[in-house]
Amino acid sequence: MTSTFHLSRRALAMTSLAALLAAAWNVQAATPKDTLVVASAFDDIISLDPAEAFEISAGELMGNGYERLLRYDVNDPSKLVADLARPGRCLPTA
């Protein structure tokens, strides 16, 4: 009984030491000096389909990745303004 308790205490001490060392280990990637690294959380994204995406993070990604026919006016969000749908961009009909 005593040796089992001693082994459990030793295992607990070794596990605690390993966890402490793992938490203190500082690993960083080597980033070139002329590179800007931007980190952001985007774990709320369910879909990047424009018809289904409603999260803030998905909206930011789609706004930077897609051009839309219409967009909201920055100064007055109750108004829509043309983005891709501009006069003179239509092909002539036969």
Span 43-88, pLDDT tens digits: 888 888 878 888 888 888 887 787 878 888 889 989 988 888 776 6
What average pLDDT does the chain have?
Answer: 78
**SS in 3 state form for the chain?**
CHHHHHHHHHHHHHHHHHHHHHHHCCCCCCCCCCCCCCCCCCCCCCCCCCCCCCCHHHHHHHHHHCCCCEEECCCCCCCEEECCCCCCCCCCCC
Q: What are residue 10's phi and psi, to 5 degrees?
A: -65, -40
pLDDT of residue 53: 81
Against a cut of 0.85, is the pTM above it? no
